[in-house]
A = this chain, B = another copy of it.
Amino acid sequence: VQRRSFADAGCPIARTLDVVGEWWSILILRDAFRGVRRFDDFQQSLGIARNVLAERLARLVEAGVLERTRYQERPPRHDYRLTDAGRELAVPVIALMHWGDRHRAEPAGPPRLTRHRDCGGEIHTRFVCEACGTPVPAAEVDVLPGPGARAHAPR
């Protein structure tokens, strides 16, 4: 997928899409969220060409969302683990997935379910107020200009 890079744009959403706004990158992250670490396991799960997978993994490492870790010395073997920044992508990526499940559903049903490990309950993504600790409906979230507002004007 060739497209313009968003990286230089003065918008945090655009800069995030520059990391995750690509088909294979998102599927790699989705697999990483469910515990996949090894090249061959990603390859088997995704059915992706090895050279394409290697290129996407390298890009995610470069972006700081995966790290390449040696897990065996002889012979040397590496796997790919989520960094803290990568783990934090779980909320937006799974929120996109849930929106698609609701509004672009396929007849077969959702390809992936998200469950709370402790109680098996269905996971949703919500706004939460860090001050009062309560879930907040979208209609009660104010989006206000921040200190970088001036730098934000698109070209």
Contact = CB atoms under 8 A, between A and B. Distances in A.
- On chain A, which size bracket covers the interface? 35 or more
Contacts of A34: 142-144
A92 B90 contact: no
Nearest to A152: B111
A113 B11 contact: no
A26 interface: yes
Chain A at the B interface: mostly helix, strand, loop or mixed?
Answer: mixed
Interface in A7-32: 9-17, 20-21, 23-24, 26-27, 30
30 contacts: A11-B26, A12-B106, A13-B26, A16-B97, A17-B23, A30-B143, A33-B143, A46-B154, A88-B103, A88-B138, A91-B127, A92-B95, A92-B98, A92-B125, A108-B147, A108-B150, A110-B148, A111-B148, A112-B145, A113-B144, A114-B143, A116-B140, A118-B132, A122-B131, A123-B128, A124-B127, A125-B125, A125-B128, A126-B127, A128-B135
Interface of A: 1-4, 6, 9-17, 20-21, 23-24, 26-27, 30, 33-34, 46-48, 64, 85, 87-106, 108-132, 135-136, 138-154
